[in-house]
């Protein structure tokens, strides 16, 4: 991993990328809401020190909320199908947080195993992820509970850290990262100064909720598919799906047709396991007819099933689901209850012995 000192500030970095004709996606304000969007002017890119994280994750630029997979036309018995898979443009996602960069390394597994989803893979291949370590956290953040840190390099092509004087240092973590540095060589210089143990990020870490033990969480989940706690957790869940749509690792989708006269599109649209229709069979049978079962599926998929299948936790602790939940259902609290229950069980067992 090479380290480069950035000779300028963030806005100048954005300006340099734009000047080189790069397609830059970065956090910018849409009204009062901070969202990722295409940057036309460098000043629109909000400096990373001014935010904890964006409202929506960067997922939508690689796995869009809606995306045509085929187009078709049908006139009487004449049906034609056209491929909607095209080469994607190169783009740079600038200013994303390490949790969002790590999310892509997690969902890469599901989109690439057995059958390769080129709609995802093509955009992923052509996207460079330039993340900035977190200078603040808020009460929702819990990345330290899922093996990440405010300055984790997982998934980033280039990861920026700051020294105590406010200078930016870029850690290049991939060929794409190197390529980007080479493109902007006039504003970067290679250095041997290393901020891997930067105290600033230890402080952010210290303000975060205490880390949970995912191994213990999984141990409990392995044994408690049936448990009255599920009803308790889900009793106030509205099933609105906000958590899934804001989550950088939720990847469920629907496939639907849209038509106009005698032609149309078949689209992949985001969907969520929190909706009752998600699993409803045409016969009327529904494997998950209650919200408690759907909420259980969400927690199980994140902390057990995905782990069983791909050996990864399907959560980066970004905290978006916590911030957005209209009824303050907090997945961190839910899984910490579980670990408490786990230790209670163990204590009881020990006492019986």
Partner 1 sequence: MNNIYKPYLAKIDMVRQETPDTKTFRLSFMDPETAESFTFKAGQFGEYSSFGDGESTFCIASSPTRKGYIECSFKAVGKVTNALKDKDVGDIIGFRGPYGNSFPIEEMYGKNLLFIGGGIGLAPLRSLIWNCLDLREKFGEITILYGARSVQDLCYKPELTEWAERPDVNFVKTVDPGGETSDWDGKVGFVPTVLKELAPSPEGAVAITCGPPIMIKFVLQNLSELGFDSTQVVTTLENRMKCGLGKCGRCNVGKTYVCIDGPVFTARELEALPVDF
Render the burial of 236-255: b for 16+ CB within 10 Å, e for the rest: ebeeebbbbbbbbbbbebee
Stretch that binds partner 1, among 1-9, 54-62, 76-84, 169-177 (CB under 8 A): 76-84
Q: How far is the CB of 287 from partner 1 (least distance, A)?
A: 5
Query: How far, in Å, are 224, 302, 336, 346 from residue 350 at the CA level?
Result: 20, 30, 21, 6
Measured CA to CA, the distance from residue 209 to residue 211 in angstroms comes to: 6
What is the separation, in whole angstroms, between the first and last Cα of the chain?
Answer: 52
Q: According to the binding rule CB under 8 A, does residue 306 interact with partner 1?
A: yes
Sole binder of partner 1 in the list 61, 171, 220, 278 (CB under 8 A): 278
Please name which of 98, 50, 58, 61 lies closest in space to residue 317, comparing C-alpha atoms: 98
Residue (289 or 326) nearer to partner 1, CB? 289
Sole binder of partner 1 in the list 70, 240, 290, 324 (CB under 8 A): 70
Stretch that binds partner 1, among 132-140, 178-186, 249-257, 319-327 (CB under 8 A): 249-257
Q: How far is the CB of 241 from partner 1 (least distance, A)?
A: 13
Residue (16 or 62) nearer to partner 1, CB? 62
Q: According to the binding rule CB under 8 A, does residue 220 interact with partner 1?
A: no
- Residue the block writes with tokens 């850290």: 161
Q: How far is the CB of 254 from partner 1 (least distance, A)?
A: 6
- Residue the block writes with tokens 């380290």: 3
Are the CB atoms for 267 and 258 separated by under 8 Å?
yes
Residue (8 or 112) nearer to partner 1, CB? 112
Are the CB atoms for 17 and 24 separated by under 8 Å?
yes
Q: How far is the CB of 224 from partner 1 (least distance, A)?
A: 11
Q: According to the binding rule CB under 8 A, does residue 111 interact with partner 1?
A: yes
* H or E, element range at 215: helix 214-223
Sole binder of partner 1 in the list 33, 191, 259, 347 (CB under 8 A): 259
- Residue the block writes with tokens 């909607």: 84
Stretch that binds partner 1, among 11-19, 144-152, 195-203, 300-308 (CB under 8 A): 300-308
Q: According to the binding rule CB under 8 A, does residue 206 interact with partner 1?
A: no
* H or E, element range at 263: strand 263-270
Tokens coding 141: 């953040």
Q: According to the binding rule CB under 8 A, does residue 233 interact with partner 1?
A: no
Q: How far is the CB of 216 from partner 1 (least distance, A)?
A: 19
Give the DSSP letter string of 287-344.
Answer: S--SHHHHHHHHHHIIIIIHHHHHSS-S-----HHHHH-TT---HHHHHHHHHHHHHH
**Rg over CA atoms, the chain:** 22
Sole binder of partner 1 in the list 300, 325, 329, 335 (CB under 8 A): 300
Q: Enumerate binding residues for partner 1 (CB under 8 A).
A: 69-70, 72, 74, 77, 79, 81, 83-85, 87, 110-111, 113-119, 122, 225, 251-257, 259, 264, 266, 268, 271, 273, 278-283, 285, 287-288, 293, 297, 300-301, 304-306, 308-309
């Amino acid at each position: 991993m090479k380290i480069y000192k950035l000779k300028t500030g963030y806005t100048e970095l954005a300006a340099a990328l734009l000047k080189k004709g790069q397609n830059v996606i970065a956090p910018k304000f849409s009204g009062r809401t901070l969202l990722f969007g295409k940057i036309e002017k460098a000043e629109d890119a909000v400096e990373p020190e001014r935010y904890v994280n964006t409202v929506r994750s960067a997922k939508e630029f690689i796995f869009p909320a809606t995306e045509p997979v085929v187009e078709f036309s049908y006139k009487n018995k004449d049906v034609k199908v056209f491929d909607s898979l095209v080469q994607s443009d190169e783009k740079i996602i600038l200013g994303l947080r390490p949790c969002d960069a790590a999310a892509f390394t997690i969902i890469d597994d599901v989109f690439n195993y057995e059958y390769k989803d080129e709609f995802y893979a093509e955009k992923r291949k052509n996207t460079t992820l330039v993340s900035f370590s977190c200078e603040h956290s808020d009460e929702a953040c819990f990345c330290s509970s899922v093996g990440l840190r405010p300055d984790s390099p997982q998934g980033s092509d280039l990861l920026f850290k700051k020294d105590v004087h406010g200078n930016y240092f870029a850690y290049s973590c991939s060929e794409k990262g190197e390529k980007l540095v080479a493109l902007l060589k006039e504003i970067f210089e290679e250095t041997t100064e290393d901020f891997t143990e930067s105290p600033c990020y230890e402080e952010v870490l210290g303000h975060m909720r205490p880390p949970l033990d995912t191994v213990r969480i999984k141990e409990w989940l392995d044994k408690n598919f049936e448990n009255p706690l599920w009803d308790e957790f889900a009793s106030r869940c509205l099933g609105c799906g906000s958590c899934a749509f804001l989550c950088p690792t939720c990847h469920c989708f629907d496939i639907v047709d849209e038509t106009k006269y005698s032609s149309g599109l078949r689209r992949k649209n985001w969907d969520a396991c929190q909706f009752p229709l998600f699993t409803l069979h045409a016969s009327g049978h529904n494997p998950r007819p209650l919200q408690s079962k759907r909420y259980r599926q969400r927690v199980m998929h994140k902390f057990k099933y995905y782990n069983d299948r791909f050996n990864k936790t399907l959560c980066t602790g970004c905290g978006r689901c916590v911030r957005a939940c209209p009824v303050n259902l907090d997945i961190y609290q839910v899984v910490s209850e579980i670990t408490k229950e786990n230790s209670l069980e163990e204590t009881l067992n020990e006492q019986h012995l």
